[in-house]
A and B are shown apart, each in its own frame.
Chain A
Amino acid sequence: MSNWITVCRQEDLSPSTGLCALHQGEQVAIFFCGQTSDLYAVSNYDPIGEANVLSRGLMGSLGDAVVVASPLYKQHFNLKTGECLEDPEHKLKTYPIRLESGEVQLQAA
């Protein structure tokens, strides 16, 4: 069984930018791809810059990977796996996310 918690509405999303939601006490960065309409959710904490900023990074692609570049020092994190492309020992926590009747939902732990 799974519980989904609504964090915002679809119209709150701007294409190809991120936003941050507080989800069960954790800061989660949510990204919406304008071209594919895919949603991604990873931890907002940048383990290299050591600040809660990843939702404010630039979204894009490198090869086949959809990534966010940290706004602090520009390392790339794979939005699907959370892995840092430059330094794979850093891996972001990822969160299941879905769009349900116009609502953006994260899965409860």
Chain B
Amino acid sequence: MSKQRVVVVGNGMVGHKFIDNLVNDTDADQYEIVTFSEEPRLAYDRVQLSSYFSGATAEDLAMTDEGYYNDKGVNFVLNDKVSELNTTENYVVTESGRKESYDKLVLATGSFPFVPPIPGNDQEHCLVYRTIEDLEAISASAKQSKVGVVVGGGLLGLEAANALKAAGLETHVVEFAPRLMAVQLDEGGGTLLRRKIEDLGVNVHTEKATSEIVAGETCRYRMNFADGSHLETDMILFSAGIRPQDELARQFDLEIGERGGIVVNDNCQTNVDNVYAIGECALWEGRIYGLVAPGYTMAKVAVSHITGGADQFKGADMSTKLKLLGVDVASIGDAHGNTPGAQSYTYNDEIEQVYKRLIVSEDGKKVLGAVLVGDVEAYGNLLQLMLNDMDLPENPAGLILPAGDGEAAAGLGVDALPDSAVICSCYDVTKGDLQKAVAEGATDMGGIKAATEASTGCGGCAALAKQVLDSELANLGYEVKNDICEHFAYSRQELADIVRIKKIKTFDELLESHGQGLGCEVCKPAVGSILASFWNDYVLEDAHIGLQDTNDIFLGNMQKDGTYSIVPRVAGGEITPDKLIVLGEVAKEFDLYTKVTGGQRIDLFGAQLHELPIIWKKLVDAGFETGHAYGKSLRTVKSCVGSTWCRYGVNDSVGFAINLEDRYKGLRSPHKIKFAVSGCTRECAEAQCKDIGVIATENGWNLYVCGNGGMRPRHGDLFATDLDDETLIKYVDRVLMFYIRTADRLQRTSVWLENLEGGLDYLKEVVIDDKLGLGEELEAEMEASLGNYQCEWKTTIENPEKLKRFQHFINTKEGDDSLAYVVERGQRRPATKEERIQSVELVD
């Protein structure tokens, strides 16, 4: 049977979602997909568009890439707009003349920004805010401007204002309605939002109708308003709402709503059965849904209908929670109390600048809607109460009142939610889905995210998802117990607190005061690591030696045959020819298999225990230090060659990498830590897959945190931009010490961040805003630990007592006689079992 051809017009977030769902369907192989985009790139995250101005790149925003589409067999055509549609003969034609026939057509053409018909609105610095190209134009215009105006005080308008503010412009917002976000907020909420935004230095002008844009006197333009007033500005951004992009459907006779939008039924079909419309171009029951979550639902419904499923679109909740210019804002359901008989509770704290209004039904039993500004913690609870039509608790006011001393905020237990309750609306994940994920083995937020995608979109549901997780673990009979092992009834974080606060210096002291038994290979290295993180004593001290894991105990990486590899530190990957020669000579003398590592160093394999001190003596004498390749500690700071040689470099990445490596070397942590520094945005050092990534900008350094390569790759999150050296080091000190204090054992920074309640925003609050008042303490702890740095190998070779352990036998100088090697590609490697049996040309 030949494949069905599915043509998707538009590759925005929703078009991509449709494709992604279809190619991952069990019947995916029955469909051949072609998608067209008039933009020069595949789908990207328009919701996060403003992050482009705080340093995110087009790549960061990308939701997919050509490689993925190629792998999945999706044909894509960029930069080509579909301009003709024939629904009787089932084909489309693009502007470039390409003709594509289809069995099913999906219109995901999105929307376009509405530009009010004001005389003068088409001048050079009058722009809109929708695509990456728009952002590039805004960015270029902003460089030639001092003052910027956003026309439109809705959600998108305020996002745009944030972008102008970030670009350093004097920013104004001009709104026709009497308040900001008039659709989502009531008067009280709009008033507080305005006050907060004005405090941030953005000027707000409401009830202003622009009548014309003319040449300015002090600025490039002057906007004249209907009330006779005016405002001068160098650039204007129109963000006065969106209109469905229904041009194609309109021209070729699909049914269109009175005020635009392609009419669809519950299956997302248009009036032509094999033509679907989804996302912002679709009109369902007279409504356009201008949010991404309903668009995703439509994508899912269309896939379901095409593949013979039964999903239907039944409208969507337009509740929303977001951060605008740093202000938390949320709106739920009937925020204006328009339902007949609606009553409300209002909490207005002008001191702390918090406004909350809860709208309830006439009988006072159900939530109809809510407005939250300044504190949106109640969002998850209130939304669930409304969506699931649940009865309010006895004292509904408690839902929006701040918690008194020692009393938890009134909420609803997640147990009360039905299984069908949607917890994550970005990815349509229900409570039941989360329960299933837990039953199938997810036991932490990282696992939940990997299994369900919940909380990986806007992140708004993280707290609620965590509650479901905990409650489900408890229901399944898991005692939610974070004990590190049978010897200590404490989590790693608690043990770290005990060690730090009680100034405990040895394992035995800790075991006696807080543990039982003899310890094991779980708690011993973990405690050894904690002690080393805070006090940084020599790890082979008598009190610590028994705690060291396989590699640390002999300061080398044990290989499969029991020999060790040796990795000296090569800070920043910079090495002189003379030092390189020393490494070569040592490797040659001891016949060590030699390989260049991913961290820009050189690894020498096959040294026996008794050879380690002899080899290290030679290396230390030549000026090398231990590279801590064996430790859960700072490994390397990788760098590109940077501005000293590279034609494109904007800063000295090697020099800064060496500084960072010298600063943090020897720092022991819950797991290994890797850094990288790139000298420009080309990012040759691959800093975004490191725990700490640093990328040079024209104005300093951008800092990325908690990236990872390896088994579960994760791009680092942009943490702060355009930092000077001192500020960057201050932030890194704080981030790493906070990680050391709070992570689980053997938890990389990536997983730590994913499980940190509050996530990246919380980490920023702790580190940048110093919300917990811990900043200086964390820096002091880091200083103290780094101040105790020593090269462990130098200490060891200078200590004859310690050297006694570095021999295979205590009672003879012989080595391990069972080792066997064969030569391959000019170097020796351990013989395989078969080779040993056949005794093929073994070498000594």
Chain A residues within 8 Å of B, Cβ to Cβ? 7-8, 12, 14-17, 19-22, 27, 30, 33-35, 49-53, 56-63, 66-67, 69, 71-72, 74
Contact = CB atoms under 8 A, between A and B. Distances in A.
B717 interface: no
Nearest to A53: B562
Contacts of A59: 518, 546
Given A8-B811, A22-B812, A71 B517 contact: no
A56 B809 contact: no
15 contacts: A20-B809, A21-B809, A22-B811, A22-B814, A30-B810, A33-B518, A35-B508, A53-B558, A56-B554, A60-B519, A60-B524, A61-B517, A61-B520, A67-B520, A72-B558
Contacts of A51: 560-562, 818
Given A8-B811, A22-B809, A53-B562, A16 B546 contact: yes
Contact of A52 (B520, B546, B550, B818): B818
A28 B135 CA distance: 70
B816 A58 contact: no
Given A52-B562, A58-B525, A67-B520, 13 more contacts: A8-B810, A14-B546, A20-B810, A35-B518, A51-B560, A52-B808, A56-B558, A56-B562, A60-B487, A60-B518, A62-B486, A66-B518, A72-B550
B651 to A, nearest CB: 43
B728 interface: no
Given A15-B546, A53-B562, A56-B553, A20 B521 contact: no
Nearest to A22: B809
Interface in B548-567: 548-550, 553-554, 558, 560-562
A77 to B, nearest CB: 12
B618 interface: no
Q: Which 9 A-B pairs have the closest CB atoms?
A: A60-B520, A16-B546, A71-B550, A69-B521, A61-B518, A51-B562, A58-B521, A53-B562, A8-B810
Interface in B523-552: 523-525, 542, 545-550
B808 A20 contact: yes
Interface string B791-833: 0000000000000110011111010101000000000000001
Nearest to A25: B817
Contacts, number: 96
A12 B804 contact: yes
B155 to A, nearest CB: 53
Nearest to A5: B811
Nearest to A7: B811
B486 A14 contact: no
A82 B521 CA distance: 17
A49 B559 CA distance: 10
A43 to B, nearest CB: 12
A65 to B, nearest CB: 10
Q: Which of A14, A30, A34, A58 has the most CB of B within 10 A?
A: A58
A66 B518 CA distance: 8
Contacts of B562: 51-53, 56, 72
Nearest to B543: A15
Q: In terms of DSSP, what is the predominant structure of the interface of chain A?
A: strand
Contacts of B508: 34-35
A74 B542 contact: no
B549 A14 contact: no
Contacts of A22: 809, 811-812, 814
A34 B509 CA distance: 13
Interface residues of B, number: 35
Contacts of B558: 53, 56, 71-72
B636 to A, nearest CB: 24
A12 B542 CA distance: 12
A91 B825 CA distance: 38
Contacts of B554: 56
Contacts of A20: 808-810
A61 B516 CA distance: 10
A15 B547 CA distance: 10
Contacts of A63: 486
A51 B819 CA distance: 8
Nearest to B561: A51
B525 A21 contact: no
B520 A62 contact: yes
B805 A19 contact: yes
A15 B545 CA distance: 9
A57 B552 CA distance: 11
Interface string B31-60: 000000000000000000000000000000
A19 B810 contact: yes
A16 B518 contact: yes
Nearest to A32: B546
Q: Max chain B CB contacts within 10 Å: which of A34, A60, A74? A: A60
A78 B546 CA distance: 18
B810 A56 contact: no
A105 B810 CA distance: 13
A14 B554 CA distance: 14
Contacts of A58: 520-521, 524-525, 546-550
Q: From A50, A51, A52, name the one whose CB has the most chain B CB atoms within 10 angstroms.
A: A51
Nearest to B802: A14
B565 to A, nearest CB: 14
B612 to A, nearest CB: 12
A69 B814 contact: no
A47 B252 CA distance: 75
Given A56-B554, A60-B524, A62-B520, A34 B811 contact: no
Contact of A74 (B521, B546, B553, B810): B521
A102 B811 CA distance: 15
Nearest to B809: A22
A17 B545 contact: yes
Contacts of B816: 27, 52
A21 B818 contact: no
A109 to B, nearest CB: 16
Nearest to B511: A35
A41 B409 CA distance: 59
B550 A56 contact: yes
B832 to A, nearest CB: 11
A95 to B, nearest CB: 14
Given A8-B810, A12-B810, A17 B550 contact: no
B698 to A, nearest CB: 49
A17 B524 CA distance: 12
Contacts of B811: 7-8, 21-22
Contact of A17 (B553, B561, B808, B814): B553
A59 B548 CA distance: 10
B812 A34 contact: no
B829 to A, nearest CB: 15
B749 to A, nearest CB: 24
B557 to A, nearest CB: 11
A33 B517 CA distance: 12
B808 to A, nearest CB: 6
A8 B804 CA distance: 12
Contacts of A17: 545-546, 553
Interface string B285-314: 000000000000000000000000000000
Contacts of B517: 60-61
Contacts of B804: 12
A58 B546 CA distance: 7
